[in-house]
Amino acid sequence: MSAVGVKAVVTSGRTLKQGRGMEIGKLSSEYFEEVSVCEMDQVTFDALGIEAGDSVRVETIHGSVIVTSRLDRRAEPGVVFIPCGPYANAITGSDTEGTGMPDYKSIEAQIFPAKGEKVLSVKELLSKMVEGS
């Protein structure tokens, strides 16, 4: 497990495929494949020494999650994107600052290479988060 990471701000949101996957079914492979990814720029890939498709570990003060890396050619260093869903939630805090709204956008994180590490399925991730491990 690499101890050297890249600092970035994680943001989340809807994608077309996430929306499609959600409507096909939350337990479908389409949904899993779209929400368990982290979209990053080429510079971040180079800094981490990994290729698109390798696993990365995204860590925030709220938690960490293993996701599959994906190249976003429009992206710039410093901001990475995880489609909204359980994998983004795994690193999101529940403090709403008295508004009801958690901080789903702009979460400070570190990205670590995690080549070969398994991305948990939606069911496995749910069990892990509910059990609190």
- With CA atoms as reference, report the closest residue to 113 among 62, 70, 49, 52: 49
Interface characters, 101-130, with another protein (x: CB under 8 A): xxxxxx---------------xx--x--xx
24 contributes a contact to another protein by CB under 8 A:
yes
Q: Which stretch binds another protein (CB under 8 A): 49-57, 95-103, 113-121?
A: 95-103
28: DSSP letter: S
With CB under 8 A as the contact rule, the residue among 3, 61, 99, 118 that binds another protein is 99
86 contributes a contact to another protein by CB under 8 A:
yes
Phi, psi of 55 (to 5 degrees): -75, 150
Cα separations (Å) of 96 from 63, 102, 116? 17, 4, 35
Using CA atoms, how far apart are residues 6 and 112, in angstroms rounded to an integer?
7
Residues at the site binding another protein, with contacts judged by CB under 8 A: 9, 11, 13-16, 19-21, 23-28, 62-63, 74-76, 79, 81, 84-86, 89-106, 122-123, 126, 129-132
